[in-house]
Structure 1
Amino acid sequence: VIIFASHVNSFFKAYKPPVSVESQLVVDTSPYIKPLMQLLDEYESFGLILLDTHRARIYVVNHDKIETSKRLSKDIMNRHRKGGCSQARFQRLRRGAINAFFKEVSDAAEHLLSEVKRVVVAGPGTAKDEFIEYLTDDLKKRVVGKIDVDFDEKDVLPAAEETVIEDKKHSVLKKLDVFKKEVLRDGLAVYGVEETVAAARNGQINFLFVLKDLKIKGWICEHCQAVEPGETRNCPYCGKPTSEVDVIEEVIEFAERTDGEIVFVDDDTLKELGGIGGLLRFK
């Protein structure tokens, strides 16, 4: 269980993570979110849409566990075997019913999967390919894979999770590659504690890269929000008392407040650059 509590602010909130976590007590002036951000990064929820031409199941999945789900079905006419005009008319009616069903599933998916970054579409034959065309442009962009599987297949979740993991690995490697190129050309990138803290405070961080398990002891001035490694009892900028902090935690909080994406990685180049860096929105 992850608990955030403040007696002064009469606040108490508990969350059940998807996996067991190491026991830890942190007393700080603001919520200590680094362990939670690492969990969210490692065990990212994803969407799964399983469908054929008349049945659909929409899932939000986290670490092999279904968080939420929705089932839809429609009584679609079986294929008609009569010839002539009645056959053509029947096929038009049947196609119209399938189209209406796909639109209904798309609307439900748009609502249920609004918070997930990645979506997998699974099902037999060409139904999933036809269905994808009914998704909104935003949801289409989040589809990271298609799986050819029977609607009643019970082992679709592991296959979908593997698809998401591979896409995430590829995405992180691409972002890291862009970051390293930007560093070499002195472009839209920062690295090292001092530069990254300054960029995060200014809301410049688009993607924050953090070496896994990195901690740097430092201080923060709650009055002027100055953060630096090392120790000092009073802020050298405004003279107010300081608090001891993990500098990496503070950078993560700054980035989170300005909608920066936090990515935890094992990367030798990032380690040589101080263990932390980021791609910038602007310079």
Structure 2
Amino acid sequence: MQTPGKLQHIIGEELLPVSDIDIRALAEIYDEKDVYLSVYLPVSGRENEHLNRIFADSRLSSIRKVLPSEIRSELERTFEMAEPYISGPPISAEKGRVIFASSSNSFLNVYRLAVEPERSMVLDTSPYLLPLAKLRTDYEDYGVLLVDSQEAKFTCIRSDLAEEKKHLSTDLMNKHKKGGWSQMRFNHLRKGAIKSFLSEVAENVQGTCDQLQTRGLVLAGPGDVKQQLMDMLPQDVQQKVMGVIDVPIDIPQDELVEAGDAVLQESEHSGAIRVAEEFRSAILKGGLAVHGIEAVRDALEQARVNTLLILEDSSVPGWLCERCQNLQANSRPPKECDRCGGPTSAVDVVEELYELAQRSGAKVLFVEKEDFLDSDDVVGALLRY
């Protein structure tokens, strides 16, 4: 059994970006019995409050019916720990809530999110992380640089939470005063001032991007200043630009987040297609890639996996020995492990493979069916060696 350690009690009272949840540490936690309750809920609005109550009661009843008596009492105590956070009202701008609880391990983690998960309640030998992993893929951190000829704002978008990191502005004479410079000289000086301002912006963007661990950058704003700036950015920063969009400089923050999210989703999909093509090519050429549950499991256990590919919304039944971590797919759990004689439990094998990937430091990518394999395989892996 792996004890929770420093993650034993985390009760969030403020909104938290999904990327701030230590999912790798959560993946290290497990027990020999089904004692971890994982709950994912959308919480914004009165309708969700009502639906969540119905859902929680229904799932609790269903889980209770199939548990042995000694685990049933543990479930009741664990649900009692989690219930105030299952039924509690949302804080300002909270859209989703994730709860991991285990009474026997005195373990309770509550995370308040600005993004909305699908409803789920699972009792397992460890925190159920697959929905959280999907949220992290859907809401990666990225930056938006909103710029025109006089103003630049760098905003970091983290799980739809927008935080302004830099704000630069300059004073430009927009009208040619009578009796002053010639129009030609005025225009020349103004273009020089704009170029100088954009040079300062480019320098600041590079410094900000170096500080932040973001997927990439979206250039936004009116007119053609964005392209001028793009040409002035250092090459390594240009490579981080996911897209360029036309928006007014005074765009409301929620609309800016929505526009940026659209660019991020397109970039993520394009990235997934590229990795899937690399994977297929490696399979065809006999390169560093494997597919299928057993082959991927073995590679993960040997820490050979660089990138784990998971078919979206996939699930494979199987069993796991919590003593020696023997993982088997597409079969019912025996009374005891055939390897060590330890206790076994039914699991979602895809979830267990994801947790193995987290423990070994492998990247994880969710791919759509049309981008994956023409087979029944739901997982594949690009290997380190």
When normalised by structure 2's length, the TM-score is 0.61
2:124 to 3, 27, 37: 27
Distance 1:110 1:191 in 2: 36
SS at match of 1:233: coil
- Distance (Å, rounded) in 1 between the aligned partners of 2:191 and 2:135: 50
Q: CA–CA distance in 2 between the matches of 1:2 and 1:256?
A: 19
Write out aligned runs for 1:1-283 (5 A): 1-7=97-103, 9-17=105-113, 18-28=115-125, 30-61=126-157, 65-78=160-173, 82=181, 96=196, 98-111=198-211, 114-132=212-230, 139-154=237-252, 155-229=255-329, 230=331, 231-267=333-369, 270=373, 272-282=375-385
Aligned residues with identical type, % of pairs: 29
The change in CA–CA distance for 1:137 and 1:199 in structure 2 (over 3 A counts) is farther
**C-alpha displacement of 1:247:** 1.1
Contact 1:3/1:14, CA 8 A, preserved across alignment: yes
Q: What secondary structure is seen at the aligned counterpart in 2 of 1:270?
A: coil
Q: Deviations over 1:48-84 (max 9, x none)?
A: 1112244222223367x4342335133445379747x
> 3-state DSSP class of the match of 2:124?
coil
Contact 1:48/1:119, CA 8 A, preserved across alignment: yes
Equivalent residue, structure 1, for 2:48? none
Structure 2 stretches lacking a partner, 5+ long: 1-96
**Alpha-carbon contact 1:74-1:101 (below 8 Å) kept:** no
Distance 2:259 2:106 in 1: 44
Instruction: Give secondary structure in 1 for the equivalent of 2:100.
Output: strand
- The SS at the match of 1:122 is strand
Provide the alpha-carbon RMSD of the alignment: 3.2
Instruction: Tell me the distance in 2 between the aligned counterparts of 1:62 and 1:240.
Output: 42
Secondary structure of 1:25's aligned partner? strand
Deviation, structure 1 residue 249: 0.7
Structure 2: which amino acid aligns with 1:272? S
Distance 1:68 1:20 in 2: 22
Deviation of the 1:195 alpha carbon: 0.4
User: Following the alignment from structure 2 to structure 1, what is the Cα–Cα distance between the partners of residues 342 and 164?
Assistant: 51
The answer to whether the 8 A contact 1:124-1:151 is kept is yes
Q: Is the 8 A contact 1:234 1:240 kept in 2?
A: yes
- Please state how far the C-alpha of 1:245 moved relative to its aligned partner: 1.9
Contact 2:218–2:242 (CA under 8 A) maintained in structure 1: yes
In 1: Cα distance, 2:151 partner to 2:288 partner: 47
Aligned length: 276
The Cα of 1:253 is off from its aligned counterpart by 0.8
- Measured after TM superposition, the shift of residue 210 of structure 1 is 1.7
Residues 42 and 75 (structure 1), Cα distance of their counterparts in 2 relative to 1, 3 Å cut: closer
CA shift in 2, pair 1:217/1:74, >3 Å: same
Using the size of structure 1 for normalisation, the TM-score is 0.80
Q: Distance in 2 between matches of 1:12 and 1:137?
A: 45
User: Which runs of no fewer than 5 residues in structure 1 stay unpaired?
Assistant: none
